[in-house]
Amino acid sequence: MAIRKAIYYWKSDRPHTIANTQPPSSDEENLGIANQLNDYLTQYFNDGSVKLTPAGGQGNHITYFAYQGPTKYFVRLENGPEKDDYMAVESHVLESVKQLGVPAPTVYLTDTSRSKVPFAIQVMECIDNNDLNVIEKRGELDVLATAEEIGQYIAMWQSITPGKYGLFNPEVLHNHGRLEGYHDTYEKYFFLNWDVHLDFLGSAGFIGERKIAELKDLANGARPLLQLEAGCLVHKDLALWNILGDGNRITAIVDWDDAVSGDPTDDLSLLGCFHSGDVLASAIAGYQQLRSLPSDFEQRFWLHLLRNIVFKSVIRVKGNYFEKSDKFFLNNPKHKSLRQFTLERIESACEGLRGNKSIATL
């Protein structure tokens, strides 16, 4: 099933937006899933001593820690009604970036067949470090030095150049062992669900009709920037909460389950959805230590910042993120309200595309 062919980004576009992919609410359902997983892992490890504990998390998957003898594993389940099989793609991407020297967990098992249990399973190395968002909020992270390191890793994984564009086709990976996007042109992927996203934000009252028209005009005018000759690997969810570390170094970059074949400015622009110009300058400097900036870098940066902050706005509105408590992972005491911060980033992207703003002033 080519579920992801019509998807720009999973959380904003999935067919079952409010599907039960988080830990089940009832104890009975939770116990049923845990028992099925325990039986499956007992057979996999050929050992009856598997112990499971919920791992929490706020992503697309149900997560557990699995203890088998002295070893602790991190286990993710995909339990959505779409029966999505992108977990196989993510495991391949993790292996590929790890071979390049990008820190990433080892994946021991990926089973998307749902032949023994009604969910897909991924078993990977458990890296016992906090995510950098937690460390940063404690005031224990050198953000500028970390951003430089992140920029270096972005440059490293961009040496992977898959075929075509957009989200990867799991069937091609299964049959031919290579990454290939669903779309023949990058422009087609970039504008996938663009109007749908803007119409949703308008109907939800997040942005007005005049602003929607402005965003459409700006993006349409920038179409020449989207004529790529080849794509590169893009993480597509690059943020501090998807990077693990000990405060001094990055120990793993995780959550590659939205990875695409796309533009080399995209992951850098994703950092622009959250961080200030000095942080971006450090990331760009780290990137340039290994790879030259692409042509028209700054304009492409602003164009991708606009695309990224729009789909993130859809997620935030759909998920009622603006109503969350101060403990919510996206809320940061250094920023204004998340809603205001999001609207300001949309405006910054517009000003950048008009040539009236520099990245340093983010």
Closest CA to 268 of 248, 251, 290, 285: 285
**Would you state the pLDDT for residue 135?**
95
Say yes or no: 199 and 342 in one domain.
yes
Domain boundary (125, 144, 167) is at: 125
Whether the pLDDT of residue 20 is over 50: the answer is no
pLDDT tens digits, residue range 342-360?
999 999 999 999 999 999 9
Note whether 185 and 165 are within 8 A (CB). yes
Q: In this structure, are strands 181-183 and 51-54 parallel, antiparallel, or unpaired? A: unpaired
Domain boundary (104, 125, 146) is at: 125
Separation between Cα atoms, residue 80 and residue 176, nearest integer Å: 26
Share of the chain above pLDDT 70, in %: 93
Say yes or no: 112 and 136 in one domain.
no
**φ, ψ for residue 306, nearest 5 deg:** -60, -50
Does the pTM surpass 0.85? The reply is yes
Sign of the C-alpha dihedral, residues 110, 239, 268, 188? positive
Domain boundary (125, 140, 157) is at: 125
Separation between Cα atoms, residue 12 and residue 240, nearest integer Å: 20
pLDDT tens digits, residue range 165-198?
999 999 999 999 999 999 999 999 999 999 999 9
Say yes or no: 163 and 111 in one domain.
no
CA dist 361 → 253, 284, 332, 349 (Å)? 27, 14, 19, 11
pLDDT tens digits, residue range 318-344?
988 888 776 676 767 666 789 999 999
Between 21 and 305, the more confident residue is 305
Say yes or no: 145 and 116 in one domain.
no
Note whether 248 and 272 are within 8 A (CB). no
> What total of structural domains would you count in the chain?
2
- Residue 80 sits in a domain whose CATH number is 3.30.200.20
Q: Which domain holds residue 121?
A: 3-125
